[in-house]
Amino acid sequence: MQVIIALGANLGNPQETLRAAALDIAALKGISVLAASSLYCTTPVGYAAQDDFINAVMAVESSLEPLELLQQLAALEQKYKRVRTIKNGPRTLDLDVITCGDIISADPVLTLPHPRAQERAFVLVPLAEITPDLIFPDTKRSVQSLVAELSAADVAGVRLMNAKLMAP
């Protein structure tokens, strides 16, 4: 099934971390990368007293069960020394499963689609770069239509960098 993974970081060397994490994701058994976005510099959401984030998204083909994939991604966050102290706070690496095919789940461990992805510019703008026609299974809304509804301020907070997450 096609899975969308969002990547973000703002501690250490975020660009280097995201690129290395993308290669780690690509190396997971049962994962094949379909597309990866450019890197974007984004204004923090929620907790504002921190550095800007570097964000990107990947579309992968996965034969893993969603919870198994989540566990693999959590292990990668630990590899990069992720510490959870402040909600929406600074982090060395954040990996979120945004969608897993057409699965809709209210499981508190892995809610699908990701509960806030459809309102977050730092997910939607990079996603529009690689798969603008993706339809979220719960709302039946396309990435493109959701981006069109973002505020100008939200879109302005997501700045395209002259760099790709992964080499073509």
Compute the distance between CA of residue 86 and CA of residue 39 in angstroms, rounded to an integer: 24
Compute the distance between CA of residue 122 and CA of residue 83 in angstroms, rounded to an integer: 21
Q: Is 82 a residue of the active site? A: yes
Enter the pTM of the model: 0.95
Q: Is 96 a residue of the active site? A: yes
Tell me the pLDDT of the chain averaged across its residues. 93
Torsion of CA 31, 33, 38, 39, to 10 degrees: 20
Catalytic residue (one of 94, 107, 154, 159):
94
Catalytic residue (one of 19, 24, 96, 120):
96
Write out the H or E segment, with its range, that includes residue 67: helix 66-79
Catalytic residue (one of 19, 24, 91, 120):
91
- Give the position of tokens 């579309």: 59
pLDDT band at residue 91 using 50, 70 and 90 as cut-offs: confident
Compute the distance between CA of residue 154 and CA of residue 80 in angstroms, rounded to an integer: 28
Q: What is the pLDDT of residue 83?
A: 66
